[in-house]
Amino acid sequence: MDGRVTEVAHRVNYSETDQMGVVYHARYLVWLDVARCEHLRATGLSYREMEEAGFRLAVSEATLRYRQPARYDDPLRVRCWVREALPRRVTFGYAVEHAEGRLLATATVALLCLDAEFRLSRLPGELLGRLQPTPDPVRL
Amino acid sequence: MDGRVTEVAHRVNYSETDQMGVVYHARYLVWLDVARCEHLRATGLSYREMEEAGFRLAVSEATLRYRQPARYDDPLRVRCWVREALPRRVTFGYAVEHAEGRLLATATVALLCLDAEFRLSRLPGELLGRLQPTPDPVRL
Amino acid sequence: MDGRVTEVAHRVNYSETDQMGVVYHARYLVWLDVARCEHLRATGLSYREMEEAGFRLAVSEATLRYRQPARYDDPLRVRCWVREALPRRVTFGYAVEHAEGRLLATATVALLCLDAEFRLSRLPGELLGRLQPTPDPVRL
Amino acid sequence: MDGRVTEVAHRVNYSETDQMGVVYHARYLVWLDVARCEHLRATGLSYREMEEAGFRLAVSEATLRYRQPARYDDPLRVRCWVREALPRRVTFGYAVEHAEGRLLATATVALLCLDAEFRLSRLPGELLGRLQPTPDPVRL
């Protein structure tokens, strides 16, 4: 059974722009983070609950491809899905799109599971079972 | 005896600009934070050491006056001094200046002393004694 | 006739927290900016349209009072209203509240109207007429 | 002749941390940007001058590997070098290290040369000639 692709909406705010008149490239990582957290919430366990249960997901790798710029006040949607879920490492895929459909950026982010003392750890089986991979809906 | 006025240098980076072509107004608070930490370090106790000793300084009020814009790649200096030091509350003054001398912004930030459980607390006398107020070197 | 109080919802994301486990104080200015832009949009002229028409609103003063911390994943609402609207200067008031009602912070931000060459300018009468002041709904 | 490896120093500030007690992963991209600008300055043409001459470098791809966390107040150095310099595309390599030597993160960032109207363009030969690639000083 395939996992889900979740989607969050975001309108670009002024703090996210730079003097080139487009969104500064580092801001996309924040949008990916928000999309990832909403994906976890949609699976039934929020990241806040994960931390309270003593687990952390720490970003170990990120790759971003910027295809077209996003601009101030643009309505966007960020789609997020699981690419791979291993006991110690989960990889997410992302597509950032203008609300009208143009693909603006794609990305992957890999996270390691750490315990409360920041040691590499295994995701609880129950959570891991919820992180169903799904084929990439766009070419990354 | 008057306290000191400390000074930190900063060159404006691209992430700090917005599409108006100037520094986004929220970034100044980060510069003030850096200047305040260097002020504490100069008194002999870094903020990191304060936190390790179980104390926190939490911002309770901030006022900022933006006078002239700062721009990408501008070399700046941020001056910082103590305006008032009470056992539970310390207020700092700030001047953000272009390296060539123009005054760009002034500010005040008041911080409350909290203990490790976030309860309002008293600064240790030894630290309080180091936070000597000094008259404002510029009009705020 | 009194002006309106607009409201935007925001869920605190991880990038907004700091190692004290609460929202870093500079982030509030971004929320205020978003709320101000939605206020302008609700009056019938978005800030993007204002800029395209050759006007800018540049922050000249900001005051913030932090009352209770906001934390990761907290659902917030930010209320925004006009306190004073002069041809060259508009002042907004803000209340940041937890979705359950607790008041977390209050603020005021004054903005100057600039033309495309960054000269102090007058807001077009039509826009100024839309910026109806309203009494503060909370004590600032 | 090999190109140079430039180096910038940075001390982690509080705004860069998150509630995990480490630096938030998006902040590294800002450090890389600062290091890249200092690299350009060291070659004899600052990015500000490039923009004034009508050229822009827009990030098209970024890859980051986070190896060890950076923490509040850590003194860091960020090393930067050119990996490949084509007329329309330049790729930089980066190593983020604790001042005591531990490798914290590595990264690559590819940028496209755009003209003042955001069209894909060719770097002026004089600038291109300054961007001498050099072998990676660390394994990326």
For residue D95, give its domain range.
6-130
Helix (H), strand (E) at residue C41: helix C27-43
pTM: 0.97
Kindly state whether residue A140 falls inside one of the protein's structural domains.
Answer: no
pLDDT band at D126 (very low <50, low <70, confident <90, very high): confident
Q: CB within 8 A of B88, min separation 6: which ones?
A: B112, B113, B120, B121, B122, B123
Does residue D22 sit within a domain?
Answer: yes
Q: Is D73 on the interface with B (CB under 8 A)?
A: yes
Instruction: Give yes or no for a contact between C120 and C70, defined as CB atoms under 8 angstroms apart.
Output: no
State mean pLDDT over C41-64. 95
Q: Is C73 on the interface with D (CB under 8 A)?
A: no
Is residue B22 within 8 Å of residue B33, measured between CB atoms? Answer: no
Residue A84: inside a domain: yes
Residues of B in contact with D33 (CB under 8 A): 13-15
Q: What is the pLDDT of residues A66-117, one digit of tens each?
A: 999 999 999 999 999 999 999 999 999 999 999 999 999 999 999 999 998 9
The pLDDT score that the predictor gives to residue C124 is 87
Q: Which two tokens stand for residue A121?
A: 């750890």
pLDDT greater than 80 at residue D1: no
Alpha carbon separation from B131 to A67, B6, B45, D23 (Å, rounded): 51, 12, 10, 28
Contact of A27 with chain D, judged by CB distance below 8 Å, is answered with: yes
Among left, alpha and beta (phi > 0; psi -120 to 50; other), residue B44 is left
**What confidence tens digit (pLDDT) does each residue in C15-27 have?**
999 999 999 999 9
Give chain A's count of helices (H) and strands (E): 3, 5
Domain count, chain B: 1
CA D3 – CA C129 distance, rounded (Å):
60
D61 interaction partners in chain A (CB closer than 8 Å)? 63-66
D30 touches chain C (CB under 8 A): no
Q: Report CB contact under 8 Å: C29, B29.
A: yes
Whether residue B73 and residue D37 make contact (CB cut-off 8 A), yes or no, is yes
Residue B31: the pLDDT is 98
Span C46-71, mean pLDDT? Answer: 96
pLDDT at B46: 94
Nearest CA in chain A to C46: A73
Distances, alpha carbon C116 to alpha carbons A10, B34, C53, in Å: 28, 33, 9
Other beta carbons within 10 Å of A135: 10
| d(C-alpha A93, C-alpha A79), whole Å | 8
Given a cut of 60, is residue A34 above it in pLDDT? yes
Q: What is the pLDDT of residue D124?
A: 87
Using a 10 angstrom Cβ sphere, with 0-12 exposed, 13-18 middle and 19 or more buried, the burial of residue A51 is: middle
The verdict on a CB contact (< 8 Å) between C48 and A72 is yes
Is residue B52's pLDDT more than 80?
Answer: yes
CA nearest B95: which of B84, B109, B85? Answer: B109
Say if C26 is an interface residue toward chain D (CB within 8 Å): yes
Is the residue at A136 inside a domain?
no
pLDDT digits (tens, 9 = 90+) for D11-46: 999 999 999 999 999 999 999 999 999 999 999 989
**Residue C38: inside a domain, yes or no?**
yes
B80: CATH: 3.10.129.10
- Best probe of the B interface among A15, A19, A24, A25, by most B CBs < 10 A, is A19
Q: How far apart are alpha carbons B72 and A21 in whole angstroms?
A: 13
Q: For A3-30, what is the mean pLDDT?
A: 97
- Classify residue C138: in a domain, yes or no: no
Residue A3 confidence class, pLDDT cut points 50, 70, 90 = confident
Under 8 Å CB-to-CB from A47, ≥6 apart: which residues? Answer: A36, A37, A40, A41, A57, C14, C73
How confident is the model at residue C126, as a pLDDT?
87
Give the number of other Cβ atoms within 10 Å of residue D132's Cβ.
14
Q: What one-character DSSP code corresponds to residue A88?
A: T
Among C49, C41, C66, residue whose Cα is nearest residue C140: C66
Q: What is the pLDDT of residue A124?
A: 87
Chain B nearest C-alpha distance from D136 (Å): 25
C137 inside domain: no
| pLDDT tens readout for residues B85-140 | 999 999 999 999 999 999 999 999 999 999 989 999 999 888 899 999 999 999 99
Best interface-test mutation with A: which of B12, B15, B19, B20 has the largest number of A CBs within 10 A?
B19
Confidence of residue D3 (pLDDT cuts 50, 70, 90): confident
**CA-CA distances (angstroms) from residue A77 to A10, B72, B100, C15, D20?**
6, 30, 44, 19, 27
Looking at residue A84, its pLDDT comes to 97
Read off the pLDDT of residues D103-120 as tens digits, 9 standing for 90 and up: 999 999 999 999 989 999
Cβ atoms of B57 and C51 within 8 Å: the answer is no
- DSSP string covering B47-77, please? HHHHHHTTEEEEEEEEEEEE-S---TT-EEE
Q: Tell me, yes or no, whether C119 lies in a domain.
A: yes
Show residues of chain D in contact with B47, CB under 8 Å.
14, 73
Digit-coded pLDDT (tens) for B15-30: 999 999 999 999 999 9
Check residue A127 and give its pLDDT.
87
Q: Is A92 left (phi over 0), alpha (psi -120 to 50) or beta?
A: beta
pLDDT at C67 over 90: yes
Mean pLDDT of D127-131: 91
